[in-house]
């Protein structure tokens, strides 16, 4: 064994053969969804079809949210300076933090505290009340809850439906829903935002919180690419970007069945 040898368990490469976690990449292509491939590379095993669909839905949920998110404004600002695509995307990724996009990790850790209480015998409502109280006392906002625009985030609702269909919704989803219910009962309603829903679903799937924000960045990269190209094609360099002045002029609302 060479003195400088080290090991990797992710991908093996030899001439004309690439295997990810043991599976031939060319065989995975066209057979597994990107969501399944993401699960495979991160967890080492293929998910069942339903979990693959759930991971895929998480990625679709985060693909874009118009021009107002801070990371998208960072991307647009970088694009308006003439920055390369890579630099624009990096600007967006750097703007994913605790208050935006990056609430997933903090929320996973919060929900894990709640799930531990449930495992120790507390009911969901009591666990939720304890978490709300602890965060309030510490002067922290509840990560994964609240939204500047939505009072009932449609992405969160759909993700939780898919988690139930996949049979993976467990204590973390339960605690997240209980927090929403307790806040509403206390007269200070906050919706579960998409970061919070992704956090609950990822936690019930057993993902490591350290990976959490990567899911948002992975998905939103596609949206940022569209934002960079549109900024370059439509706007003049170094413009003053007023997020409130943007008007949507894309396709009118249409149904999936319309193609």
Ligand X SMILES: CC(C)(COP(=O)(O)OP(=O)(O)OC[C@H]1O[C@@H](n2cnc3c(N)ncnc32)[C@H](O)[C@@H]1OP(=O)(O)O)[C@@H](O)C(=O)NCCC(=O)NCCS
Site residues (CB under 6 A) for ligand X? 99-100, 103, 141-148, 190, 193-195
Three-state secondary-structure class, residue 203: helix
Least distance to ligand X, CB of residue 212, Å: 12
> φ, ψ for residue 84 (rounded to 5)?
-65, 165
Collapsing DSSP states into helix, strand and coil, what is residue 255? coil
Please give the Cα distance from 91 to 170 (Å, whole number).
35
Geometric angle at alpha carbon 97, from 63 and 93, rounded to 5°: 50
CB 44 → ligand X: shortest distance, Å? 29
Q: How far is the CB of 150 from ligand X (least distance, A)?
A: 9
Identity of the residue, 46 or 147, whose beta carbon is nearer to ligand X in the bound complex: 147
Residue with smaller CB distance to ligand X, 40 or 95: 95
Give the whole-angstrom CA distance, residue 114 versus residue 174.
Answer: 9
Q: Which residue has the tokens 């630099």?
A: 87
Task: Return the number of the residue (147 or 232) whose C-beta is nearest ligand X.
Answer: 147
Q: How far is the CB of 185 from ligand X (least distance, A)?
A: 15
- Between 21 and 99, CB nearer to ligand X: 99
Which residue's beta carbon is nearest to the bound ligand X? 146
How far are the Cα atoms of 31, 168, 177, 230, 241 from residue 227, in angstroms, in the given order? 30, 34, 33, 5, 13
Query: CB 137 → ligand X: shortest distance, Å?
Result: 12
Distances (CA, A) of 9 to 1, 17, 43, 71: 17, 16, 11, 33
109 three-state secondary structure: helix
Q: Closer CB to ligand X, residue 107 or residue 163?
A: 107
Pick between residue 14 and residue 148 the one whose CB is nearest to ligand X. Answer: 148
Alpha-carbon span 72 to 204, nearest angstrom: 29
* 138 vs 256 by CB, closer to ligand X: 138
The continuous run of DSSP H or E covering 174 comes out as helix 171-185
In order of 100, 152, 158, 175, 253, the CA distances from 131 in angstroms are 21, 21, 24, 9, 40
In angstroms, give the least distance from the CB of 70 to ligand X: 10
Shortest spacing between CB 65 and ligand X, in angstroms: 8
């Amino acid at each position: 064994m060479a003195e400088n040898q080290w090991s990797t368990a992710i991908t093996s490469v030899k001439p004309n053969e690439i295997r990810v976690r043991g599976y031939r990449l060319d065989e995975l292509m066209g057979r597994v969804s990107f969501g399944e491939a993401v699960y495979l590379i991160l967890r080492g095993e293929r998910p069942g079809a339903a979990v693959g669909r759930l991971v895929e839905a998480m990625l679709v949920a985060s693909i874009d949210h118009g021009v107002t998110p801070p990371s998208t404004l960072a991307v647009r600002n970088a694009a308006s300076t003439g920055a390369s695509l890579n630099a624009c995307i990096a600007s967006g990724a750097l703007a994913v933090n605790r208050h935006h996009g990056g609430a997933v990790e903090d929320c996973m850790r919060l929900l894990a505290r709640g799930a531990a209480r449930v495992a120790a015998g507390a009911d969901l409502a009591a666990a939720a009340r304890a978490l709300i109280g602890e965060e309030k006392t510490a002067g922290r906002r509840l990560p994964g809850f609240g939204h500047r625009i939505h009072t009932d985030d449609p992405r969160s609702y759909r993700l939780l439906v898919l988690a139930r269909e996949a049979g993976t919704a467990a204590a973390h989803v339960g605690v997240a829903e209980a927090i929403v219910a307790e806040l509403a009962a206390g007269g200070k309603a906050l919706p579960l935002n998409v970061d919070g829903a992704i956090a609950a679903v990822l936690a019930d799937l057993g993902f490591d919180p350290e990976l959490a924000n990567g899911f948002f960045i992975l998905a939103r990269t596609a949206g940022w690419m569209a934002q960079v190209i549109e900024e370059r094609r439509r706007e003049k360099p170094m413009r003053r970007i007023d997020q409130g002045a943007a008007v949507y002029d894309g396709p009118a609302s249409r149904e999936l069945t319309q193609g």
